[in-house]
Amino acid sequence: MEPQRPRQRAGLGLARKGGCSQRPRIRNPVEWLDRQTFSFHFRNLSFANGRNCSYLCYQVERLKHCSPDPSDWGVFQNRVYPETPCHAELCFLSWFCAKKLSPYEQYHITWFLSWSPCLSCAEQVAAFLKENRNVRLSIFAARLYYFWKPECQHGLRLLHHQRAWVRLMSLGEFKYCWKNFVYNQGMPFKPWKKLRKNYQFLAAKLQEILGNTMNLLKKKVFQQQFGNQHRVPLARYRRKTYLCYQLKQLDGFTLDKGCFRNKKQRHAEIRFIDKITSLNLDPNQSYKIICYVTWSPCPTCARELVDFINGQDHLSLQIFASRLYFHWVKLFQRGLQQLQAAQVSVAVMTRSEFEDCWEEFVDNQGMPFESWDKLEQYSESISRRLRKILLPLNWNNLEDSFRDLRLGSPSPSSLRSDSR
């Protein structure tokens, strides 16, 4: 069931903590929106004129329930005072930091905006999210603010980079707002003409801006395919190979990301190699690639990854596997050892990696990652297996190092990576 909004008035805001010290005190007299205001200001026109006001409908949920109030609802409107102009987003942050923010609570905040944030607001919201890691933000915008201007596009990317879930309002979100934030007097929401068409146009523009053309994984697919249980809980589906990757600069900025699965005779790893190769990365720049895979690479894919990474000193590749593929077969063990010998980091996904994969590649709708039963226990068990597989290679390298110290230049046989 959808939560019902309590009839309460949004409070006053004086910023004091949590990265909010520069925001002015703002009064917000708006409690509910009337029907005409909502229908006019939230209409999702591709190009809207005469709509200079910005409205923000918010819901704050407390995930740890350290407060007697599980959630807050309300509406903010931008204010233009000569001495203290303030957009709706900053009005909310001032109020939230002064009245609600606690380091002992986990928050999920949802915004429904008539306009997407401008660059200045986006920068301050992104800074707030960076400083307050216990706050998760989902943003649904009715329209995109100057989406053709590079500075506004940059603001949306900043929010996305700080893990804000940025989306356009669809019919479902308009109905939800009408029910919970509009004094509708019992009248049902009536969609306007071209609502769906305008949504599709704006959603495509947002996708272009964020540079995320991949289809996010469904929650059920992620849970089934990335689950690290030894056996499939339900024998009604096969666990297939999915590979999710992030290409990053050394400062952490994400240049590209995507998700592949096995397709016909081309494994996900091969499709990933083709994608990175097609980017024509600058060899004078350094990059880090993080891969999350449901199954560790087969011997053929392991050799392809080794060939791909060899000679590319500007690339650092990390592979995190949820499960090990035929880990008891020596040929598959050999593939993992070859990867490590090529300076490819091979590890098992822990809760931290599952959370990051959930955040970056799953259509999670702003909800936090929920662990399944015995996740940590399974992860540790798989990690022990991987360590045993890689240990002979590590021991052989150690012997080679001592041999080099005693004998000088290594012999040709000592250069072989075969540990058996």
Catalytic positions = 89
In a 3-state reduction of DSSP, which class is residue 290?
A: strand
Spatial CB neighbours of 330, under 8 Å, sequence gap ≥ 6: 420
Structure tokens at 34: 């009337």
Report the distance separating Cα 77 and Cα 57, nearest Å.
9
**DSSP string spanning 344-388?**
-EEEE--HHHHHHHHHHHB--TTPPP-PPTTHHHHHHHHHHHHHH
Closest listed residue to residue 57, CA positions, set 41, 71, 76, 44: 76
Other CB atoms within a 10 A radius of the CB of residue 58 amount to 22
CA 250/CA 207 separation, integer angstroms: 25
Q: At a CB cut-off of 8 Å and minimum separation 6, what does 151 contact? A: 119
Q: Looking at the chain, how many residues does it have? A: 420
Question: Residue 218, Cβ neighbours under 10 Å: how many?
Answer: 12
Extract the tokens encoding 298.
């087969």
What does the block give as tokens for 236?
């009604």
Q: Give me the sign of the Cα torsion angle 185, 189, 192, 198.
A: positive
Helices 375-407 and 330-341: crossing angle in degrees, nearest 10, is: 60
| Residue whose C-alpha is closest to residue 228's, from 315, 97, 349 | 349
Q: Please tell me the distance from the alpha carbon of residue 68 to that of residue 187, in angstroms, as a whole number.
A: 32
Burial class for 297, CB neighbours closer than 10 Å (0-12, 13-18, 19+): buried
Looking at this protein, which amino acid is placed at residue 250?
L
